[in-house]
Amino acid sequence: MRSAATYIKDIYYRLRNSGTWTSVMDAYLYVGAVVFVVNFLLNLLAFLFASGFMGRRLTLAVWDMNSDQASLFWFFFCHTAVATFVITYLIVRLYDRIINKPVKDFKTELSEMAKTELSDYFLSGKMSQPFRDPNSPVSWTDQVKFYVDTASVEKYLDELTGCFNRKYFSHKLVSYMSTQTGFRTKSSRNIKKYGDDVYAIFMIDIDHFKSVNDVYGHATGDQVLKDVGKLLRETVGDAGVVVRNGGEEFVVIYLANYPFDFSQVAELINQKFRDNIKIKDQAGLKGRDVTCSVGFVSYPFYDNADHVFDLEQHVNLADMAMYVSKTTGRDRWHELKATRIPTDKIDTSLYLNSPEYGLKRGYYVLRDKNGERSVISDK
């Protein structure tokens, strides 16, 4: 059971942020308090001014006043109470009519639209606020954004998997991530502090997916893609955004608080595939488990931002790490970790697409569950 202090703190926070009011009573409490304070101060000044004008002693103790001053005191006291009630009532009625009820209608319409799991996914605000804390208060502005999310859902939705599509990645997420991370200038030397937001980019590829289509048919392949999309969304939850990159490839952008080892997420994804993505026996064909290869990098790749890559280039780096997982046995993960910032002239194309190039020159190392290495090997 929540403590009284926590309850009072929650009420204070809610009342202080008008966009998170949950009922008209919140409006009455907040507006009433403000109107009362304003009225009290104005009437107090008026009473003191009138007392001085009458040549009376300036006091708020009724027993020290004569009859005229006491009558004047009670007049201003009653005026404060009546004016507070009337003004508060009128303001809250106006608020309820032009703000509260229209927003309630929005929420009703949204709830009617949320008839499927996919609708719920976008109504949670994933599109406009991909890493929103589900426990944080939802303001009127947020609710309108969620409405816009739902209204434009088809444009950014991969209908087969229920994940975001490349259009969302390029039109929305690239801009959002650039704003969130606020790429620092070359002269800055920002050091991560405990609790700071840190991101990672994951590339996930379904192992031997072509053989799934060839052996079991495209209907089974589509079902595998659906299952994978659902599994990834459920696995990353509100901490991540899942994008179908094309074919059997998925991109996940994951948010955590520093310090955090993102290999936990990679291992979890691998394990979830092993436990949940399966093809059943069908038409004389024996079913099988479906696994995935995972590669990931931190975002931004360099903490001090002396050498900055954009979001697309980070995906290329994660893709290289995933390629290593593919070529060294599949059903595993690899991280590409930056070791030194290039001070010499580099071939950017090779840097972002050939792991051998960067490993040989010591720009980055590979990491898996067995540790770090500077060569591609399954040993």
Domain CATH code at residue 306? 3.30.70.270
Q: Is residue 127 domain-resident?
A: yes
What is the greatest pairwise CA distance in the chain? Answer: 107
pLDDT at residue 181 in the model: 65
What's the domain range around 202? 158-373
Q: Are residues 172 and 79 in the same domain?
A: no
Inside any domain, residue 202: yes
224 in the same domain as 357? yes
Q: What is the pTM of this model?
A: 0.74
Task: Give the count of alpha carbons within 13 A of 161, CB side only.
Answer: 25
Q: Could you tell me if 184 and 252 lie in one domain?
A: yes
Q: From CA 361, how far away is CA 115, in angstroms rounded?
A: 54
Q: Is 378 a domain residue?
A: no
Domain for residue 369, yes or no?
A: yes
What is the predicted pLDDT for the residue at 185? 42
As for how many domains the chain has, the answer is 3
Is 255 found in the same domain as 190? yes
Q: Is residue 379 part of a domain?
A: no
Whether residue 223 sits in one domain with residue 321: yes
* Residue 171 shares a structural domain with residue 309: yes
Q: Cα–chain-centroid distance for residue 196?
A: 14
Instruction: Report if residue 33 sits inside a domain.
Output: yes
235 inside domain = yes
Q: Which residues pair with 257 in a beta bridge?
A: 197
Report in angstroms the alpha-carbon separations of 183 from 78, 271, 364: 59, 34, 20
Identify the DSSP state of 23: S
Instruction: Mark whether 186 and 146 lie in a shared domain.
Output: no
End-of-domain residue from the set 104, 129, 154: 154
Per-residue pLDDT, 367: 93
Q: Could you give the CA distance from residue 201 to residue 251 in angstroms, rounded to a whole number?
A: 7
User: With contact defined as beta carbons under 8 Å apart, do 166 and 243 qualify?
Assistant: yes
357 shares its domain with 311: yes
Do 98 and 181 reside in the same domain of the chain? no
Q: Which single residue is written with the structure tokens 């289509």?
A: 213
Do 323 and 273 fall into the same domain? yes
Q: Indicate if 327 and 183 belong to the same structural domain.
A: yes
Q: Which two tokens stand for residue 339?
A: 């070791």
171 and 316 in a single domain? The answer is yes
Name the DSSP class of 139: P
- 224-228, long-range: CB < 8 A, 24+ apart: 224/277, 224/279, 224/290, 225/160, 225/161, 226/160, 226/161, 226/162, 227/276, 227/277, 228/161, 228/273, 228/277, 228/290, 228/292
Three-state secondary structure call for residue 6: helix
Kindly state whether residue 99 falls inside one of the protein's structural domains: yes
What pLDDT score was predicted for residue 217?
A: 92
Mean pLDDT of each 10-residue bin along the chain, 379 residues long: 66 68 81 91 88 76 78 88 93 87 75 60 73 73 74 83 91 82 50 81 95 92 95 91 93 91 95 94 88 94 71 92 93 92 79 87 90 79
